Amino acid sequence: MLAGRHRLVIDNKDALLVSGTDDSELETVRRKFVVKKLGVEDKDKGMAAAKTVTVKMSGIRMKNRVTFYYLVQQELS
């Protein structure tokens, strides 16, 4: 279901990956996914989830956006 919702992201090579070291990228994840799609308005909670996932995926240089979003969703569940 998550992959279907983000079909355009999967098809766009520029949007396919998440940069966990770029704070503006993590802020975009928080605003566009955590707030808009998951409905979590708490800025600190959303950013903490994104940063936790970044740490979990630290061994993966090219972080797939759908996988990243899935793990963020799990963190917030």
pLDDT in tens, 17-73: 999 999 999 999 999 999 999 999 999 999 999 999 999 999 999 899 989 999 999
Q: For the chain, which domains are there?
A: 2-76 (1.10.238.120)
pLDDT in tens, 53-66: 999 999 999 899 98
> What does pTM read for this prediction?
0.83
d(CA 42, CA 27): 12
pLDDT computed for residue 70 by the predictor: 96
